[in-house]
Chains A and B, each alone.
Chain A
Amino acid sequence: MPLDPTRWEPVIGLEIHVQLKTKTKMFCRCENVWGEAPNTRTCPVCLAHPGTLPVPNRQAIEWAIRLGLALDCEIAPRSLFHRKNYFYPDLPKGYQISQYDSPIATRGRFSVPGPDGDREMGIVRAHLEEDAAKTIHVGGEGGRIHGAGASLVDFNRGGTPLVEIVTEPDVRSAEEARRFLGLLRQTVVELGISDAEMEKGSLRCDANVSVRETGETGYRTKTELKNMNSFKFVADGIDAELARQVELYEDGGEVVQETLHFDPRSGRISPLRSKEQAHDYRYFPEPDLVPVEPSPELVGRLRDELPELPAARIRRLEEEIGFDLALGLVTSGRDELFARVPGDDRRATANVLMNQLAGAGVDPARVNADELAKLIAARDAIPRAAFDEALAASGDEGFTAERYLAEAAITDEGEIDAVIDRILAANEGQVQAYRSGKEGLLGFFVGQVMRETQGKANPKVVNERLRERLRA
């Protein structure tokens, strides 16, 4: 439900956690891997046995710098790890090693292309920390601790490396938040530092949400929306919270600063219990670690190694195929294939890549672009079923278009008219309905014809002929 933009302006900041796909954990040498049997990737260090000490992962530090550079941040010549203290079973030491007032990367910006040009989002900071373990509450409602019969802890995730990115409150809509996330996700994937899959938790997003009246310059009270595990839920959650806040203000109420939980199934927002949020973390510098002091040479090398970022490629493609297709191709990782596919009808190529190829779930990196180009060029001449089949196979080893091109589509009007007449005769009721204005029924007739011809009829010809015959 969009707000009335003449009255209310959303003010949104994001906190994003990116789990790094290093071989080992942040402070011990346990394997960093997702989906293994619980508590099989643990050691005395990540279980916080007495006397154990953290040893930082060099790869994680380099990757955090790489990400900081991609976000156009300043890389601190000296940053510190701190201890963030709180008690919870998923935190075996009773503190999380994180960064506090001297993070590894600060003051960056991230360009988010939009249909009306670029928006620059300020980046407050990006810092390194270790992840908590995973707590599973059993026997309660919706997996939450309240009312649970028992809690189980899986320490496999405990101590894996995370980069936390905090944006300025520069995001102005749920849609923009979603676009920011999509672009950031693609950026970290291309940097090769994370799988960044929200459903696996290797990309997580919290949102700080407030609204103000259009034209107002200060910030109003914000709420924090936690743990939304898909792009859609982030957008839905933000929209729901914006609507809640506007309704509160319009009813003369006030927004209270609190942490909220969005339930994507019901669309409801509810406060997390106060016990889960009332923390004084008592940060202090981690005495078991020395400061992180990357050399200017290292930072220079990592800067030189940065690839061209997705935002720049979207802007390049936009002129050729329009914003939506450009955004779609780049954030789905298909623009590299797009560039490889020869042919003059660029929009058609982009559409095929975004629709049929995406639908078929083919890895674009494996596709032979020249063979794909042949298929796209012949897309009207071969049966729809054959085309789809060909695309599904286009990532296979040794794929050629030849076999599918041989399957000519039925384009002969006489042949198609004969089928159409049979269908119309068998469905007199629908024909009457169509003729009396229910033109939505056209799809029904198209479907019938395609079924009758086993998908071999050329859909374009079928459409034309059906309209013609139904007009009679």
Chain B
Amino acid sequence: MSADTAGIDTLRLTAEEAAGLLERGEVSSAELVAAYRAAIEARDPELHAYLHVTDDEHAGDGGGVPIALKDVITTKGVPTTAGSRILEGYVPVFDSTVAARCKEAGLPLLGKTNLDEFAMGSSTENSGFGPTRNPWDTTRVPGGSSGGSAAVVAAGLAPWSLGTDTGGSVKQPASLCGVVGLRPTWGTVSRYGIVAFASSLDQVGPLAKTVRDCARLYGITAGRDACDSTTVELPAPVELPEREDLRGLRVGVPRELNEVDGIEPGVRERVQEAIRLAEELGAEVGETTLPRSVEYGLACYYLVAPAEASANLARYDGVRYGHRADLNGDGDLTALYERTRWEGFGAEPKRRIMLGTYALSAGYYDAYYGQAQKVRTVIKQEFAAAFEDFDVLLSPTSPTVAFPLGDKVENPLAMYLTDVLTIPPNMAGLPGLSIPCGLSEGLPVGLQILGPQFSENTLFAVGHALERALGFDFVPPRLAA
């Protein structure tokens, strides 16, 4: 089944290897693009990981390794829908900063990947344009919200991609699809041109087959941007990891992140094995605790994120762009707003807009949004205390492996709980890397590696050493030729 154009095996080729082929003149960028397009044509009808595949004019001919972008990342001249019917047909007139940086680095754009509508969800089933399927098992979800960006990497439909992570939307699908995903420190990657969900949490992150590929893509996209006043200059340049041991590293295992209800036994075993492996590679491993972060993190997130979302999604009003309800000349301004938003938004954005509007309402603000911000401070302090004793913390990324499509669609709370391990560090603005650490029931398990702010180089070093030692085969067996 492997698509094979000019001898390029897109299922196995890493971005670093592709860059090597280009440097040595063994293939051209156009040949790479053609190989991935052939793979897309062969396998995407089944997976539905792309919402839009570019033509030559819009791919650009930068001469580099091609990339796929999550469809919340604004691309000039290329439709950007955020997975929502309300933005169907919207074609941006400007590039997001990350899209511009990819262009400057010469990365041709393969297309835009599927996602949960406005990045709200953990399975990509909330897409307004139909779900994406997991390349390891097409009866299962790829995770979300960056499910499309994870699936295209796992299925060889792009060598690397960018997703966005608010509550775990890069790390969790990376885990469920057996690829590497980084959620960077909030403020290191520009959000200019990222369709906003929850501004104080949204962050663009790379997905790839290897840690080194993630580090490379992070290096291309990160750094201060004059168009996003919340960004900062990186304190140190991004380093491509090389070390294969973990000597001198202090690894903390937060009890609650490893023992919370709902972690599948197979997931727990793979993660425990990975922790033992870290010890074998020379790390000092100790136990730590984050009691309040795990107990209150999810509740706190589901006040802060919907509150910000309720404001961020107010601009979709049918006045300037996107869907506008046809009132047939019957109805006033309020009717235009109500009908447009009723028709354009799916169930999950509607649910979160209502939650967030409620949490910000007069008389409820202090009890909900105000209180959540205080809890957020407590979570930050708890993580800061843990990082006084440890360089990194380890846990599962997702409590479960990929679950069947439809399993949690009728139960939003069960869906929300799939992010219980990724949300607490996100609330603290911390970076996290998910790497595959083995299989459970034939499906990938993700290891979450957390560090303090701006510790991306440490995360890459740890991830790289473990990746080498684990020797995980990232090609889904059902696709391997």
**In the bound complex, do residue A284 and residue B319 qualify as a contact, i.e. CB atoms below 8 Å apart?**
no
The reply on A428 being an interface residue by CB < 8 A is no
Provide the residues of chain A in CB contact with B342, threshold 8 Å.
none
- By beta carbon, the residue of chain B nearest A50 is B195
Q: In whole Å, how far is A152's beta carbon from the nearest beta carbon of chain B? A: 11
Can you list, as one digit per residue, whether each of A283-302 has a CB less than 8 Å from chain B (1) or not (0)? 11001111000000000000
- By beta carbon, the residue of chain A nearest B229 is A55
A151-169, CB < 8 A from B: 151, 153
The reply on B307 being an interface residue by CB < 8 A is yes
Provide the residues of chain B in CB contact with A264, threshold 8 Å.
none
- By beta carbon, the residue of chain B nearest A42 is B320
- By beta carbon, the residue of chain A nearest B360 is A282
User: In the complex, what distance in Å separates the CA atom of A50 from the CA atom of B119?
Assistant: 13
**In the bound complex, do residue A53 and residue B317 qualify as a contact, i.e. CB atoms below 8 Å apart?**
no
The reply on A405 being an interface residue by CB < 8 A is no
User: In the complex, what distance in Å separates the CA atom of A71 from the CA atom of B432?
Assistant: 49
**In the bound complex, do residue B311 and residue A94 qualify as a contact, i.e. CB atoms below 8 Å apart?**
yes
The reply on A56 being an interface residue by CB < 8 A is yes
User: In the complex, what distance in Å separates the CA atom of A63 from the CA atom of B260?
Assistant: 53
User: In the complex, what distance in Å separates the CA atom of A368 from the CA atom of B321?
Assistant: 57
**In the bound complex, do residue B194 and residue A49 qualify as a contact, i.e. CB atoms below 8 Å apart?**
no
Provide the residues of chain B in CB contact with A282, threshold 8 Å.
310-311, 357, 360-362, 365
User: In the complex, what distance in Å separates the CA atom of A282 from the CA atom of B361?
Assistant: 5
Provide the residues of chain B in CB contact with A85, threshold 8 Å.
310-311, 314, 360
Provide the residues of chain A in CB contact with B313, threshold 8 Å.
94
Picked from A52, A92, A275, A290, the residue with its CB within 8 Å of the CB of B192 is A52
The secondary-structure label for the interface of chain A is loop
The reply on A240 being an interface residue by CB < 8 A is no
**In the bound complex, do residue B94 and residue A289 qualify as a contact, i.e. CB atoms below 8 Å apart?**
no
- By beta carbon, the residue of chain B nearest A285 is B373
Provide the residues of chain A in CB contact with B472, threshold 8 Å.
none
Can you list, as one digit per residue, whether each of B76-99 has a CB less than 8 Å from chain A (1) or not (0)? 000010100001001011101000
**In the bound complex, do residue A49 and residue B321 qualify as a contact, i.e. CB atoms below 8 Å apart?**
yes
- By beta carbon, the residue of chain B nearest A95 is B311
Q: Given A85-B311, A87-B317, A87-B337, are A287 and B200 neighbors across the interface (CB < 8 Å)?
A: yes
The reply on A280 being an interface residue by CB < 8 A is yes
User: In the complex, what distance in Å separates the CA atom of A244 from the CA atom of B321?
Assistant: 46
The reply on B221 being an interface residue by CB < 8 A is no
**In the bound complex, do residue B230 and residue A50 qualify as a contact, i.e. CB atoms below 8 Å apart?**
no
User: In the complex, what distance in Å separates the CA atom of A94 from the CA atom of B353?
Assistant: 13
The reply on B104 being an interface residue by CB < 8 A is no
User: In the complex, what distance in Å separates the CA atom of A284 from the CA atom of B227?
Assistant: 22
Provide the residues of chain B in CB contact with A114, threshold 8 Å.
none
User: In the complex, what distance in Å separates the CA atom of A297 from the CA atom of B194?
Assistant: 36
The reply on A48 being an interface residue by CB < 8 A is yes
Provide the residues of chain A in CB contact with B308, threshold 8 Å.
284, 287
User: In the complex, what distance in Å separates the CA atom of A52 from the CA atom of B74?
Assistant: 9
Q: How many residues of A contact B (CB 8 A)?
A: 31
Q: In whole Å, how far is B393's beta carbon from the nearest beta carbon of chain A? A: 26
Can you list, as one digit per residue, whether each of B319-345 has a CB less than 8 Å from chain A (1) or not (0)? 111000000000001100100000000
The reply on A343 being an interface residue by CB < 8 A is no
**In the bound complex, do residue A92 and residue B320 qualify as a contact, i.e. CB atoms below 8 Å apart?**
yes
Provide the residues of chain A in CB contact with B242, threshold 8 Å.
none
**In the bound complex, do residue A56 and residue B311 qualify as a contact, i.e. CB atoms below 8 Å apart?**
no
**In the bound complex, do residue B96 and residue A51 qualify as a contact, i.e. CB atoms below 8 Å apart?**
yes
- By beta carbon, the residue of chain B nearest A55 is B229
**In the bound complex, do residue A49 and residue B192 qualify as a contact, i.e. CB atoms below 8 Å apart?**
no
The reply on A255 being an interface residue by CB < 8 A is no
Q: Given A50-B196, A92-B320, are A280 and B229 neighbors across the interface (CB < 8 Å)?
A: no
The reply on B226 being an interface residue by CB < 8 A is yes
The reply on B54 being an interface residue by CB < 8 A is no
Q: In whole Å, how far is B276's beta carbon from the nearest beta carbon of chain A? A: 40
Provide the residues of chain B in CB contact with A93, threshold 8 Å.
311, 314-315
**In the bound complex, do residue A53 and residue B228 qualify as a contact, i.e. CB atoms below 8 Å apart?**
yes
- By beta carbon, the residue of chain B nearest A90 is B319
Can you list, as one digit per residue, whether each of B293-315 has a CB less than 8 Å from chain A (1) or not (0)? 00000000000000110110111
User: In the complex, what distance in Å separates the CA atom of A444 from the CA atom of B188?
Assistant: 81
**In the bound complex, do residue A83 and residue B311 qualify as a contact, i.e. CB atoms below 8 Å apart?**
yes
Provide the residues of chain B in CB contact with A49, threshold 8 Å.
74, 92-94, 320-321
The reply on A47 being an interface residue by CB < 8 A is yes
**In the bound complex, do residue B369 and residue A284 qualify as a contact, i.e. CB atoms below 8 Å apart?**
yes
Provide the residues of chain B in CB contact with A139, threshold 8 Å.
none
The reply on B199 being an interface residue by CB < 8 A is yes
Provide the residues of chain B in CB contact with A87, threshold 8 Å.
314, 317, 337
**In the bound complex, do residue A94 and residue B200 qualify as a contact, i.e. CB atoms below 8 Å apart?**
no
- By beta carbon, the residue of chain B nearest A86 is B314
User: In the complex, what distance in Å separates the CA atom of A319 from the CA atom of B308?
Assistant: 58
B112-146, CB < 8 A from A: none
Can you list, as one digit per residue, whether each of A55-68 has a CB less than 8 Å from chain B (1) or not (0)? 11000000000000
User: In the complex, what distance in Å separates the CA atom of A275 from the CA atom of B333?
Assistant: 11
- By beta carbon, the residue of chain B nearest A286 is B199
User: In the complex, what distance in Å separates the CA atom of A66 from the CA atom of B227?
Assistant: 26
**In the bound complex, do residue B192 and residue A53 qualify as a contact, i.e. CB atoms below 8 Å apart?**
yes
**In the bound complex, do residue A284 and residue B74 qualify as a contact, i.e. CB atoms below 8 Å apart?**
no
- By beta carbon, the residue of chain A nearest B81 is A50
**In the bound complex, do residue A53 and residue B191 qualify as a contact, i.e. CB atoms below 8 Å apart?**
yes
User: In the complex, what distance in Å separates the CA atom of A87 from the CA atom of B360?
Assistant: 15
Q: Given A287-B200, A289-B229, are A50 and B360 neighbors across the interface (CB < 8 Å)?
A: no
The reply on A44 being an interface residue by CB < 8 A is yes
Can you list, as one digit per residue, whether each of A256-269 has a CB less than 8 Å from chain B (1) or not (0)? 00000000000000
User: In the complex, what distance in Å separates the CA atom of A288 from the CA atom of B231?
Assistant: 10
Picked from A50, A83, A89, A151, the residue with its CB within 8 Å of the CB of B82 is A50
Q: In whole Å, how far is A139's beta carbon from the nearest beta carbon of chain B? A: 14
Q: In whole Å, how far is A89's beta carbon from the nearest beta carbon of chain B? A: 5
Q: In whole Å, how far is A380's beta carbon from the nearest beta carbon of chain B? A: 65
**In the bound complex, do residue A44 and residue B307 qualify as a contact, i.e. CB atoms below 8 Å apart?**
no
Q: In whole Å, how far is B314's beta carbon from the nearest beta carbon of chain A? A: 2
Provide the residues of chain B in CB contact with A56, threshold 8 Å.
229
User: In the complex, what distance in Å separates the CA atom of A341 from the CA atom of B310?
Assistant: 62
Q: In whole Å, how far is B102's beta carbon from the nearest beta carbon of chain A? A: 15
Interface CB pairs A-B, < 8 A, 15? A50-B80, A50-B82, A50-B92, A51-B192, A54-B229, A55-B226, A55-B227, A87-B314, A92-B320, A93-B315, A151-B333, A282-B311, A282-B362, A284-B307, A290-B230
The 8 lowest CB-CB distance pairs between A and B, nearest first, are A94-B314, A282-B360, A287-B200, A287-B199, A51-B193, A50-B195, A48-B315, A51-B74
- Beyond A50-B315, A94-B313, list 6 extra A-B contacts (CB 8 Å): A49-B92, A51-B72, A55-B226, A153-B319, A280-B361, A288-B196
